[in-house]
């Protein structure tokens, strides 16, 4: 029974395997199965992945087919590579140089998340948040809105999305925070448009007058 099993095993190996091949790296004899593709059978040169990888890793100590450097396209990293597409920029907050991909050349402004949070939270402080949540602030805001009949002074829209805007900045002029003359009502769209044109800092009454005089 033992010899019969061994004979059947030999027949199975002969049936399943193709004639032997020699590995181009270690020169060991190896077989390829009939079940593998014809292309794999013809093009296989190495007995294992380790032999193939050791040969294909160019310019290493394990490289076998090492030739002159002019015949190989050596991979270059960084700015030496022809396909390098990164752009150097300077951070808006800390003036630190950083690199971004080319598609972010116009949009990237900050080197890190901390700098972006500093710019986003500029003018906001724990004291300012306490003032905005106080009862006095709500009373002053209601008085300004009722004075202007809940109407935008730019586009004359009456609605719920009406903002009370400081003519002079909340953070730069703390003495004028609760002055009614320093407040004006604008709708949400006009409020965003004003700060988009004149930014958040150094706002004056001349800016408001010129903004209201412009045609919508």
The mean pLDDT value for 116-135 works out to: 75
pLDDT confidence of residue 211? 92
- pLDDT single digits (tens) 31-64: 777 667 776 767 778 888 778 777 665 544 444 4
Cα 3 from Cα 9, distance rounded (Å): 10
Cα 146 from Cα 139, distance rounded (Å): 11
* Nearest of 189, 190, 195, 168 to residue 179 by alpha carbon: 168
Burial of 168 (0-12, 13-18, 19+ CB in 10 A): middle
Cα 143 from Cα 162, distance rounded (Å): 13
- pLDDT single digits (tens) 74-115: 556 667 777 778 899 999 889 999 999 888 899 999 999 888
The mean pLDDT value for 15-28 works out to: 72
Contact in structure between 119 and 93 (CB atoms under 8 Å)? yes
- Name the 3-class secondary structure at 89: strand
Cα 108 from Cα 116, distance rounded (Å): 10
Label residue 73 by pLDDT band (50, 70, 90): very low
pLDDT confidence of residue 153? 92
pLDDT confidence of residue 8? 57
Contact in structure between 180 and 168 (CB atoms under 8 Å)? no
- pLDDT single digits (tens) 136-164: 888 888 899 899 999 999 998 987 789 98
The more confidently predicted of residues 178 and 5 is 178
Q: Which residue(s) pair with 82 in the sheet?
A: none
Distances (CA, A) of 30 to 17, 19, 34: 10, 9, 13
Cα 192 from Cα 165, distance rounded (Å): 10
pLDDT confidence of residue 68? 43
pLDDT confidence of residue 122? 64
């Amino acid at each position: 029974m033992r010899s019969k099993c061994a004979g059947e095993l030999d027949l199975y190996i002969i049936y399943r395997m193709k004639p032997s091949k020699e590995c181009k790296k270690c020169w060991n004899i190896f077989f390829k199965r009939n079940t593998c593709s014809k292309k794999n059978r013809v093009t296989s040169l190495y007995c294992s992945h380790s032999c193939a990888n050791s040969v294909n890793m160019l310019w290493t100590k394990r490289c076998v087919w090492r030739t002159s450097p002019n015949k190989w396209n050596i991979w270059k990293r960084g700015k030496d590579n022809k396909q390098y597409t990164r752009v150097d920029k300077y951070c808006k907050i800390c003036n630190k140089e950083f690199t971004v991909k080319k598609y972010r050349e116009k949009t990237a402004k900050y080197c890190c998340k901390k700098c972006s949070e500093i710019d986003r939270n500029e003018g906001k402080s724990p004291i300012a948040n306490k003032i905005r949540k106080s009862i006095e602030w709500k009373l002053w805001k209601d008085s300004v809105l009722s004075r202007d009949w809940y109407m935008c002074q730019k586009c004359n829209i009456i609605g719920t999305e009406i903002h009370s805007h400081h003519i002079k900045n909340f953070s730069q002029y703390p003495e004028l925070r609760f002055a009614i003359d320093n407040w004006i009502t604008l709708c949400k769209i006009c409020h965003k448009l004003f700060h988009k044109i004149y930014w958040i800092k150094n706002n004056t009454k001349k800016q408001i007058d010129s903004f209201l005089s412009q045609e919508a």
